[in-house]
Structure 1
Amino acid sequence: MRKKEDKYNFSEFGLAIKQARMKQGLTREQVGSIIEIDPRYLTNIENKGQHPSIQVLYDLVSLLNVSVDEFFLPEIILEKTSKRRQLEHQLNELSDTYLIILEHTIQGIIYSKKNYLSND
């Protein structure tokens, strides 16, 4: 028999859902309408760590492009966190010209970081 205290704490997941929703400019009412849930249910998931059903969890992570791996497999270093997936989604909106600019910017940051760290 499982103990009540063994339940997974969904607070961090709820916060990630809230941040992703707000970043996409969606209200709780809009998300509720899209995935067919009551906005109060979403409020409880975001703010109180309420356990969503498997279907609602799936719908939320799919709609908001949030990776659940970092919440359920924290001991594993993962290639794609929520932030990486969100950035990848944004990159898909850019043309190759903007991607080249972004690539050079990233290379400059990496170069600066390496040089800064090697001077320590």
Structure 2
Amino acid sequence: MYQYEKRLDCRALGKEIKRRRKAKGWTQEHLAQLVDLTPRSIMYIENKGQHTSLNAFYKLVTLLDISVDEFFYPDKHNGEDERRKHIDRMLNGMDEKELTIMESAAEGICKARETEEA
């Protein structure tokens, strides 16, 4: 019988959880209360990549707005440009007003490109 050998390495996800938590100004204790875990569990998840229940995992990634594709399918994301990742991280830290400005800038670039091509 075939047994699937691949395991999810949660260390990178733990680092992202920590980064997003700190960006929100939350302590481990506060996050632990929100997802019904102990602060020690949050510490182990962030620093050691400890696995958690699916329910706690779901709460963490939805509260912190983390896309898990890059952690579940790392081979598909390894070729992704570092500049795009950096821009995504910056955009994730912006408020609605700042995002509106960025959206307008991107739309302006697209319109300028269309004008050049015409």
TM (normalized to structure 1)?
A: 0.66
* Per-residue deviation, 1:87: 2.7
More moved, 5-14 vs 19-28: 5-14
The number of residue pairs the alignment matches comes to 102
Match of 1:94 in 2: 97
Instruction: Report the CA distance shift for 1:67/1:85 in structure 2 as closer, same or farther (over 3 A).
Output: farther
Instruction: Note if 1:37 corresponds to 2:37.
Output: yes
Equivalent in the alignment of 1:60: 60
Q: Which amino acid aligns with 1:31?
A: L
Structure 2 length-normalised TM: 0.67
**CA RMSD, aligned part only?**
3.4
Asked whether the equivalents of residues 67 and 85 of structure 1 are also in contact (C-alpha less than 8 Å), the reply is: no
Give the distance between the partners of 2:63 and 2:21, measured in 1 at CA.
9
Regions of 4+ moved over 3 Å: 83-86, 88-91, 103-108
Between the aligned residues of both structures, percent identity stands at: 37
Instruction: Specify every segment of 5 or more residues in structure 2 that has no aligned partner in the other structure, as ranges.
Output: 110-118
Does the 8 A contact of 1:65 with 1:85 survive in 2?
Answer: no
Q: 1:105 to 1:41 in 2, by over 3 A?
A: same
Partner of 1:15: 15
Higher RCO (Cα < 8 Å, 6 or more apart): 2
Mind listing any 5+ residue stretches in structure 1 that lack a counterpart? 111-120
Whole-Å separation in 1 of the counterparts to 2:28 and 2:55:
17
- The CA distance in 2 between the partners of 1:104 and 1:59, in whole Å, is 32
